[in-house]
Structure 1
Amino acid sequence: MSAVPKIELDGLSKAFGANRVLDGVSLAIAPGESLTVIGQSGSGKSVMLKCILGLIRPDAGSIRIDGEDITRLSERDMARVRAKFGMLFQGGALFDSLPVWRNVTFALTRGRNRSAARMKAIAEENLEKVGLGRQVLNLRPSELSGGMQKRVALARAIAPRPEIIFFDEPTTGLDPIRADVINDLITSLVEDLGATAVTITHDMASARKIAHRVAMLYQGEIIWCGPRDQLYESGNPYVDQFVQGRADGPIR
């Protein structure tokens, strides 16, 4: 295992006015590791993710990707770093005006002169990896079920062969069976790519299946981080209440 973390957050802080959303977050994620971040709505998970993606500048602290601090990079240099990223958005974020094959290859078309036939072949290859075939290539996202849309979005996330993949609530809106299918796909695809993965989720079944380690954010701080097998035996009352979904406890 590399001595240099793939992603390293050190003292990351961010406030919006008087609201301190992140308060000294520190995490190190090894190459090839899958980390899941859990926590209440408003605990800072999405803000942390946006900081790593370079969409929000933190007020303090550093974010290192392969040892490079990205917090002060120019937009041009940040674009170079983002080329390492793949992203599965919570709602899929597919373009309804484009057929499936153009959605899947969207990130591959910028600045590249490739024929439609080549793009369709790439799309089909990636769709097959998520259990879909050529029959959906020319369909619009609106013609697909929610589970199929999620698979198309996953195919788009892996098409550029990213080194790091971010998953934002990947099972939201899916029934338990389809959610488990997506969890299995994420696990196998991340392993096949040898990618590093960061997942934000409220789904405890997803957290336990996808992650090597789980971290919990509470009031802008990481209050616990450990192996997924210890999630239900953390010894932390905040974590215990959250993962068990209890109304009674220290979280109000």
Structure 2
Amino acid sequence: MTTGERGGSIELVGVRKAFGPKVVLDHIDLKVTPGESLVVIGGSGTGKSVMLKSVLGILPIDAGTIRLDGVDLAAASRAERTELRNRIGMLFQGGALFDSLPVWRNITFGLTQGRATNAKAMHAKAVELLAKVGLDAPVADLKPSELSGGMQKRVALARAIAAEPEIIFFDEPTTGLDPIRADTINRLIRGLVTDLGVTAVTITHDMASVRRIADRVAMLKDGRIHWEGKVADLENSGNDYVDRFVHGRAEDGETG
């Protein structure tokens, strides 16, 4: 399968989201084309996770439009929304694994809709996916509580890619990982985009990851897209705030 055959498009037009008097997203306009890797950067509290959860439908927006493959999420039928969700994978920042289930059932949970079926085939599938994220086969039979934080993150990533989704959202995918394991994850994300045409949207503070996986970068600040451009232009953006962030010279309170 060649690049661009699988990925879906994402479009935000005038998206606004507030919590009481605090406006978190202030009329965001953003497009992600099929098979593109967009990385969203910005300081803590700038709305990165809120934007991601809005696209996923976890948080309702107050104004604007969000389209996936041209389908307006707000106007879509329940069946259309279900079909769209089935084409999306998500790596949550905290992993969000089920503590009561072994790793292999966590990884294949979406494939079986949580039912204990096809155990042998699902176990084999989980082992295959674990290998992709740099974990050995015996990990499949452990419980999440028996894993380190970094291992839990990689198990969560294996679950995110299990159904071979067209669009995948990554929330801080390399947090808690050593540089070698982080590079394994970065290479996997880049491979999903380059080799399979998956559309990827990543939130990260890890500038090494940004440079490794991004086609394009968007900087959120004060609820708006403060800067947007190709990753090759990031080092010479001409934007003082972006330069401070990228080179670790942000003022107090701008990063976290």
TM over 0.5: yes
8 Å contact from structure 2 (residues 8, 198) kept in 1: no
- Pair 1:186-2:189 in alignment: yes
8 Å contact from structure 2 (residues 8, 199) kept in 1: no
Q: Alpha-carbon deviation of 1:57?
A: 1.3
**Amino acid of the residue matched to residue 10 of structure 1?**
V
| Aligned twin of 1:133 | 136
8 Å contact from structure 1 (residues 238, 251) kept in 2: no
**In the aligned structure 1, how far is the partner of 2:235 from the partner of 2:253?**
16
**In the aligned structure 2, how far is the partner of 1:110 from the partner of 1:41?**
34
TM-score of the two chains, using structure 2 as the length reference: 0.90
- Pair 1:94-2:94 in alignment: no
| Aligned twin of 1:168 | 171
Structure 1 vs Structure 2: percent identity of aligned residues? 63
Residue of structure 1 aligned with 2:28, choices 17, 25, 29? 25
- Pair 1:225-2:237 in alignment: no
Residue of structure 1 aligned with 2:212, choices 205, 209, 213? 209
- Pair 1:156-2:156 in alignment: no
1:48-127 matches, cutoff 5 A: 48-110=51-113, 114-127=117-130
**Amino acid of the residue matched to residue 99 of structure 1?**
P
1:119-163 deviation line (CA, Å, top 9, x unaligned): 112212222222223222111122223332222111100001100
8 Å contact from structure 2 (residues 133, 184) kept in 1: no
TM-score of the two chains, using structure 1 as the length reference: 0.91
Please identify, of 211-220 and 117-126, the stretch whose mean Cα deviation from structure 2 is larger.
117-126
**In the aligned structure 2, how far is the partner of 1:181 from the partner of 1:55?**
29
Q: Alpha-carbon deviation of 1:101?
A: 0.6
Q: Alpha-carbon deviation of 1:59?
A: 1.1
**In the aligned structure 1, how far is the partner of 2:72 from the partner of 2:250?**
40
8 Å contact from structure 1 (residues 35, 214) kept in 2: yes
**In the aligned structure 2, how far is the partner of 1:10 from the partner of 1:46?**
17
The 3 A distance-change label for structure 1 pair 91 and 112 is closer
SS in 1 for 2:46: coil
**Amino acid of the residue matched to residue 180 of structure 1?**
D
- Pair 1:199-2:216 in alignment: no
8 Å contact from structure 1 (residues 169, 202) kept in 2: yes
The 3 A distance-change label for structure 1 pair 108 and 185 is same
Q: Alpha-carbon deviation of 1:110?
A: 1.4
**In the aligned structure 2, how far is the partner of 1:196 from the partner of 1:204?**
20
Structure possessing the higher relative contact order (Cα contacts under 8 Å, 6 or more residues apart): 2
1:199-252 deviation line (CA, Å, top 9, x unaligned): 001111111111100000000100111111111110011111111221449969
Q: CA RMSD in A?
A: 2.3
Which aligned runs of 4 or more in structure 1 are off by greater than 3 angstroms? 72-77, 111-114, 189-193, 247-252
SS in 2 for 1:57: coil
